[in-house]
Structure 1
Amino acid sequence: MITNHQKNLATFIHLSTFSRFIFPFGNIIAPIILWIANKDKSDFIDTHGKQAINFQFSILLYAMIIGILTIPFFAFSLFDHLDILDFHAFEGIHINISDPSPLFYIGGSLGLLAVIAFILELIFIINASLKAKNGENYNYPFTINFIK
């Protein structure tokens, strides 16, 4: 039987991921501290703690991948008005980075993907918190199980 205390702890573990808005990496540190302190109290808390931590590590990995892919596309916009980048090679070859290139649009699309992912992350965390409050298990989508 899952007690109200266990439900509250599992809910708080999920909600503690919002602590990243208060201090850096709070979305990873706070759930880890709560999970380590309470994982031996019940399997319910242990399961929800692992899910919350695995989801946050997965989100961190996905954000790093999107960031690494996006940075080179936006780097061209930093050098937008420099004449050095107006390059004339042999006859008929002209490279000018002052006009937005398709790479800029690809980078913008990746940025939009990051915003959509952030909104989905908030929805998933709230949904997991509500499931924990009701005593149900929840598996975050797109999660890599780092902690088993």
Structure 2
Amino acid sequence: MESTITQNHRNVAALIHASTFSKYLVPFGNFLLPLVFWMSNKKSSPFVEYHGKQAINFQVSILLYNIALGITAIPLALFTAWDFASFNFIGGMDTINIQTGLDSIFNHGEHFLLWGVYGILYLSLFLLNVICTIIAAMKAHEGLAYRYPMTVNFIR
């Protein structure tokens, strides 16, 4: 990093981090808007270039963690559906019994426990994204370098 970071560079770097919240308004806004700000300002300062890379790398990492959680949840969804609908194929009589009511919930409590774990993991990723992005924007505005936790460096 250069020793003289202007206020404009700090504002642009903070804006790059804060622009990742645009994903709540525009699909893939957490990639597109920071990428536009970073690409248009990266040659002006190594500070802006560093923060742009950090923001984009973190958003890609969070996306990959969410995809991995989603893929691992597919077998759980299938097994949960299979257990709730008891399939009986005996002697040519194909029947499907769907369990309803509180007895089905208490009989399949392990599924609800696993879905609770998945819910906690998704909530943790969401909170990690929000909290770390706010911290990164504040650090950038103060003129300090910030490295996101759990980030895979795709852009070096």
Fold match, TM over 0.5?
yes
- Equivalent of residue 52 in structure 1, options 31, 44, 55: 55
**Is 2:142 the counterpart of 1:139?**
no
User: TM-score if structure 2 supplies the norm length?
Assistant: 0.81
Please state if 1:118 is matched with 2:126. Answer: yes
Give the number of aligned pairs. 140
- Give the one of 92, 103, 110 matched to 1:102: 110
CA deviations on 1:84-137 (whole Å, 9 max, x unpaired) are 2x578xxxxxxx995325344223312211111211210000000000000000
- TM-aligned CA deviation for residue 38 of structure 1: 0.6
Unaligned runs of 5+ in 2: 91-97
Please, what is the CA RMSD of the aligned residues?
2.2
Q: Using structure 1 for the length normalisation, give the TM-score.
A: 0.85
What is the aligned partner in structure 1 of residue 75 from structure 2?
Answer: 72
Q: 1:82 to 1:38 in 2, by over 3 A?
A: same
Unaligned runs of 5+ in 1: 89-95
CA shift at 1:80, angstroms?
Answer: 5.6
Do the aligned residues in 2 keep the contact of 1:48 with 1:137 (CA within 8 Å)? yes
Residue number in structure 2 paired with 1:91: none
1: CA distance, partners of 2:116 / 2:54: 31
Counterpart code for 1:18: F
8 A contact 2:80–2:111 mirrored in 1? no
Cα distance in 2 for partners of 1:77, 1:103 equals 6
Q: Shift of the alpha carbon at 1:78?
A: 4.0
